[in-house]
Structure 1
Amino acid sequence: MNYDTFIDQVAHRTKASSERAVALTSATLETLAERLTGGEVLDLAVQLPKPLQLVLKPSPRIEAADRFGAAEFIARVALRADVEEAAARDAVRAVLTTLREAITGGEFDDVMTQLPRDYREMVEPAMAPGATLRRSGL
């Protein structure tokens, strides 16, 4: 997926302008990079368009991941993007869903295995596209 398509998808999912989608995507990816090990950030970055690689700031020198929960993740995204936490939560879901569509193989699963259980609320919608549309018994 190219950069413009990635941003357009985030804009569509968040019902935001392209400019706002850029800020939301950057804030989410910067925060995700803090939460992942350096090696995982590098693995993820190579599958993304160049502008998004630069946002991730992969560095082989930084292997340790910061340890913080989902609430802190949302708070950091909200601060970086200068939005309310509810909007940040929606943005994280949109970016993760788009990220899942943009990368190949099991890389998305590799990224998500580094996140603790309290991230499930943010991650599940992105891990199973359409899952929220499925109804039990159908």
Structure 2
Amino acid sequence: MHHDEMIGKVRTLAGLPDGGSAERASRAVVCTLSERLPAGLARHVAAQLPPDLAAAMRRAADGTGADSGHAGERFGLAVFAGRIADRAGTDEDTALREAAAVLEVLDAALAPELTERMAGALPADIRELLPVERAVEESGE
């Protein structure tokens, strides 16, 4: 999926006013996601993203970005939402809505086996932000 298509879908799904807001939300989510995923998995996800989002994800996964943590960190939904909100300049409720939109777009953009690995690496509370079919499938229900 191309960059403009991804950003357009995030904008629509999250109900954002413009492409800049969708870009900011997308970067915030992929950076935070890369901190939560194991580094190797984050790099595999980045390899299937448009170059600018991939670069943001790799910097966060490698710990080289100005606002990056360390890949494979263990944290739950509250920290996930807080980091996204800080990066996107929004509140945590908005960050969760935007994260769900970005994760839905990622689910459609990535190879199915990669999205399964990504979902399996996330704790249940973050996994609930994934599209309904993926969240139910991964929880074993």
Q: Report the TM-score range of the alignment, normalised by the length of the smaller protein.
A: 0.7 to 0.9
What is aligned with 1:9?
A: 9
- 2:88 equivalent among 65, 81, 94: 81
Instruction: Give the whole-Å Cα distance in 2 for the aligned partners of 1:22 and 1:40.
Output: 22
Structure with more of its chain in helix, by fraction = 2
Instruction: Give the whole-Å Cα distance in 1 for the aligned partners of 2:110 and 2:62.
Output: 24
After TM superposition, the runs of 4+ consecutive aligned structure 1 residues lying more than 3 A away are 58-64
User: Any residues of structure 2 matched to 1:39-78 within 5 Å, and which?
Assistant: 39-57=40-58, 65-78=72-85
| Structure 1 residues 126 and 76, CA gap change in structure 2 (3 angstroms) | farther
How many residue pairs were aligned? 128
5+ residue gaps, structure 2 = 64-69, 136-141
Instruction: Give the whole-Å Cα distance in 2 for the aligned partners of 1:25 and 1:104.
Output: 18
| Structure 1 residues 52 and 114, CA gap change in structure 2 (3 angstroms) | same
Q: How many Å apart are 1:120 and its aligned residue?
A: 3.2
Higher relative contact order (CA 8 A, sep 6+): 1
The percentage of aligned residue pairs carrying the same residue is 31
What is aligned with 2:98?
A: 91
User: 3-state SS of the aligned residue for 1:66?
Assistant: coil
What is aligned with 2:125?
A: 118
Q: Look up the equivalent residue of 2:21 and give its one-letter code.
A: R
Is 2:85–2:95's contact at 8 Å kept on the other side of the alignment? yes
What is aligned with 2:66?
A: none
Return the index of the structure with the highest Cα Rg: 1
Instruction: Give the whole-Å Cα distance in 1 for the aligned partners of 2:99 and 2:126.
Output: 11
